[in-house]
Amino acid sequence: MFDNLSIKNLSAAITFICALVILALFSLFYFIYDSTIDLLPFLAGIVVSMAVLYFFILQLLEKYVYNKLRVIYKFIHNSKTKSSKKTILEDVVSIDDVNKDVLNWASETEKRIESLQTLAEYRKNFVGNVSHELKTPIFSLQGYLHTLLDGGIYDESINLKYINRAAENADRLQHIVEDLESIGEIESGIMELDIEKFDIYELIRDVFQDHKRMAEKQKIKLKLGTNGDFPLMVKGDIEAIRQVLNNLITNTLKYGNQEGTTVVSTFDLHKNILIEISDDGIGIEEKHLEHLFDRFYRVDRSRSRLKGGSGLGLSIVKHLVEAHDQTINVRSTLGEGSTFGFTLEKA
């Protein structure tokens, strides 16, 4: 009942209570002493006094309560986001509204502080991870080049080998920087998706073609698990999905077994198409699966580095799939192989 009192209601309520008390006291006095007082002027006097009291209380509340609230409220308003609907204190009709607004503001501020703390933590980790990732190939590159400069260039038993290794490390650096660029673009929201309709089989065949040499080197067969004779139209950013397939298929070659097989299959899920990329490679232990899509996460650091990985590939894949409002998942058995599946909207 008294939940949503405005300042005027509040003054009126206090005045009314005072009037009741005075009337009660007066009645008591009237009946006890059987007074012969003239009631009409008395009641008129009470009404006038109550009106004066009402304005007095109103001024008092304005001066000592609302003016101070106004300062607090103005501060809250100024620190609120522009999208906030409330503008100034005049919009607020009751103390209850102020209370709600202050509570909302407090919870918004708490959330903002939490997200800033997470961001600060992320930035700290990110910078640490990036410098760590760059350090390894830079040190190797430095080592090979200095050995060559210190005379190794004339030693035929090592010169070509070291030049090759230096080149490999330079390639790795380029790979890491490209991945960092991609993740930076995606996470800062600069990247805009260019959604179009395309045949997913054609894209898979294209990506197979790009990986043909690497697959032959590893003696791994690249197979389409479904009949791809007819187009299967999906909606998405073709270049983003090409990168998703690239990263997932490259991983099957990096972590697959020699003479193994990589199979890409599609499944009809009513409104979506599920695309699964399976290998019969080393597989992943279950405890790693929940972190697999985290930035810089690697199951086996030395093996991944050896294969030129930046630890960002799967994180980029996840970002790109989620930017399409779609999902990605993984199942894997250690020693048997892994299957990564993501969905795309049917066209």
Q: Kindly list the residues in this chain that would bind ligand ADP in the complex (CB under 6 A).
A: 247, 251-252, 254-255, 279, 281-282, 284, 292, 297-300, 304, 309-315, 338
| Minimum CB distance to ligand ADP smaller for 198 or for 296 | 296
Find the residue with minimal CB distance to ligand ADP.
309
CB of 302 to ligand ADP, least distance (A): 10
Distance CA 238, CA 197 (A): 8
Distance CA 138, CA 141 (A): 5
Beta bridge partner(s), residue 134: none
| Minimum CB distance to ligand ADP smaller for 117 or for 125 | 125
Closest by alpha carbon to 130, among 176, 88, 85?
176
| Minimum CB distance to ligand ADP smaller for 137 or for 311 | 311
Distance CA 337, CA 266 (A): 18
CB of 253 to ligand ADP, least distance (A): 9
| Minimum CB distance to ligand ADP smaller for 95 or for 299 | 299
| Minimum CB distance to ligand ADP smaller for 237 or for 279 | 279
CB of 338 to ligand ADP, least distance (A): 4
Cβ-Cβ contacts under 8 Å for 16 (sequence gap 6 or more) = none
CB 173 within 8 A of CB 308: no
CB of 104 to ligand ADP, least distance (A): 40
Q: Coil, strand or helix: which one is 181? A: helix
Distance CA 244, CA 251 (A): 11
Helix (H) or strand (E) holding 33: none
Cβ-Cβ contacts under 8 Å for 150 (sequence gap 6 or more) = none
| Minimum CB distance to ligand ADP smaller for 86 or for 298 | 298
CB of 128 to ligand ADP, least distance (A): 17
Enter the tokens of residue 142: 């430095």
CB of 122 to ligand ADP, least distance (A): 17
CB of 224 to ligand ADP, least distance (A): 18
* DSSP states of 118-142: HHHHHHHHHHHHHHHHHHHHHHHHH
| Minimum CB distance to ligand ADP smaller for 145 or for 309 | 309
| Minimum CB distance to ligand ADP smaller for 101 or for 279 | 279
Cβ-Cβ contacts under 8 Å for 191 (sequence gap 6 or more) = 185, 240, 323
CB of 114 to ligand ADP, least distance (A): 27
Q: Coil, strand or helix: which one is 27? A: helix
Tokens 């050896």, residue located: 306
CB of 167 to ligand ADP, least distance (A): 19
| Minimum CB distance to ligand ADP smaller for 76 or for 281 | 281
Region of residue 311 (phi > 0: left; psi between -120 and 50: alpha; otherwise: beta): left
CB 137 within 8 A of CB 172: yes
